[in-house]
Amino acid sequence: MKLENGATFGPDETAAPRSRKTATVIGAGFAGLSAAYELGKAGFHVTVLEAADSVGGLASSFETEGERLDRFYHHWFTNDLEVSDLIAELGLSDNVVTNPTNTGLYYANTIFRLSTPMDLLRFSALRFTDRIRLGLLTLRARRVENWMELEQLTAAEWLRRLGGDRVYEVVWEPLLKGKFGPYAEKISAVWFWNKLKLRGGSRGNKGEERLAYLEGSFAKLAEEIAGAIRGMGGEVRLNCGVDEVRRNGSRWTCAGSWGSIDSDLVIATPALPLVAGMIEGWAAPDYLAQLRRIDYLANICLVLQLNRSLSSTYWLNVNDPGFPFVGVIEHTNFRPADKYGGRHVVYLSKYLPHTDALYNMTDEEVVEFSIPHLERMFPEFDRTWVEACNVWRARWSQPVVERNFTALIPAEDGPLPGFHICSMAQIYPEDRGTNYAIREGRKIGRRLARAMRDGQQARTNEAHDG
């Protein structure tokens, strides 16, 4: 069905038969698509409303001369079971590639390889005793069983306690400041603990980190989920941003410039402040304040397609405060360049406040600003290497995970029956990411489907007893 000012995946129908329960999911990122997928399997007629012109959210893609590329770099760890299980369920396992990766750290104008335990022992930026402390820190972090014990601590406090001041100042402090900028000193120890635990659990027999990727970009997975929703009689409507969600008798109405739709329940998956704007016509002030309490960083990502390789490192963490990006990720050190027309693909990523000057530059200004920094980091690099470039921005990219974050997270069930939230800020103690978005989306979809079945069964039993 073609909509005015919009597009849709789905059958040519404007409303589901009233014998079927209906659900509206706001947002076609992986949380929203996964929730809709589960509800569809349970027999709901589901409509997914997406403001953008494509599915996938932060995992959307763009065209190259070869395979499509993710706008923001993506991979998953070998212990990310939720995404791998869904890929298998959709019959896409043959499209998964798993490889060891080269990880490095840029510090004091030097690139240090840090992929294996042996690399750590050679990390000359630290004294030998501090290298041992760094290695033990990771092991001690992975042994934490009760993460709630870390809720009162900042990452800075915890990391200094485990590894000492010098390890913190060389390795962890620049990464925290590069990732969270003005919020670096507020970040919870739980957030950092989970990062160390996750990376430590995704290693091969020789200690090397192993990552997985879906051929054709992560957008391919999002499109397959959308296709499955369509196959179950649901819809995925694009260019349909939601301005208002309101109660309509016993049902719910989602409305925007494209029109409106009614359903029995709503799951909202955008950033919490955006959800607050949709419901401020009826929600209590304290509830709206809770949704607006968590801060978010934006992200800007410069994607360069080069005619030669920048380095041999896949993931380069940048511990240089003078370099404007927190990471240099050479995707084609993980996937071969011939997949992308022979071009070498490099991502330069930066999390930052949306008011930051870099975020508000034009695309051309971002490129001109960035190239001199690359020339400093890689002296052989020349701007003539650049065959193509793209600049992507995401306003609501990273929730700021503070101490005692548990107390800040709103419940999935909203203040009125039938209104629910499933957003990246509710993924905890893990951090936002494709694997956990899929987990949380499927979980809430299954829970609401089960509650509906249980309610129907109870009504049937009451009628029978009567």
> What is the chain's pLDDT, residue by residue, as a tens digit (466 residues)?
333 334 444 443 444 444 689 999 999 999 999 999 999 999 999 999 999 999 999 889 998 888 899 999 888 888 889 999 999 999 999 999 888 888 899 998 899 988 788 888 899 999 999 999 998 998 888 889 899 999 999 999 999 999 999 999 999 999 999 899 999 999 999 999 988 887 655 544 555 678 899 988 889 999 999 999 999 999 999 999 999 999 999 999 999 999 999 999 999 999 999 999 999 999 999 999 999 999 999 999 999 999 999 999 999 999 998 999 999 999 999 999 999 999 999 999 999 999 999 999 999 999 999 999 999 999 999 999 999 999 999 999 999 999 999 999 999 999 999 999 999 999 999 888 899 999 999 999 999 999 987 766 445 455 445 5
Domain of 241, CATH number, reads 3.50.50.60
Which residue in 261, 220, 280 sits closest to 68, CA to CA? Answer: 220
Q: How many separate domains does the chain show?
A: 1
* Element containing residue 70 per DSSP (H, E): strand 69-70
Q: Is residue 336 part of a domain?
A: no
Residue 444 lies in a domain: yes
Residues 158, 172 contacting (CB under 8 angstroms)? no
pLDDT at 8: 45
What is the helix (H) or strand (E) element at residue 398, kind and residue range? strand 386-399
Task: Name the residue range of residue 254's domain.
Answer: 7-58+218-294+404-465
Beta strands in 101-218 (DSSP E): 103-107, 110-113, 210-214
What's the pLDDT score for residue 229? 98
Residue 243 lies in a domain: yes
Decide if 348 is inside a domain.
no
| Residue 300, SS3 per DSSP | strand
Supply the pLDDT for residue 3: 34
Q: How many CA atoms lie within 13 A of 47 on its CB side?
A: 30
In a domain, 344, yes or no: no
Spatial CA neighbour of 27 closest among 65, 57, 72, 7: 57
In a domain, 265, yes or no: yes
Residue 15, domain member (yes or no): yes
Does the bond joining 270 to the residue before it have cis omega, within 30 degrees of 0?
Answer: no
- Rounded to a whole number of angstroms, the CA Rg of the chain reads 23
Q: Give the pLDDT score at 234.
A: 97
Residue 47 pairs with which residues in a beta bridge? Answer: 24, 235
Place of tokens 């089960």: 450
Q: What is the predicted pLDDT for the residue at 20?
A: 82
**Residue 67 lies inside a defined structural domain of this protein:** no
pLDDT of residue 168: 94
What is residue 145's predicted lDDT score, i.e. its pLDDT? 85
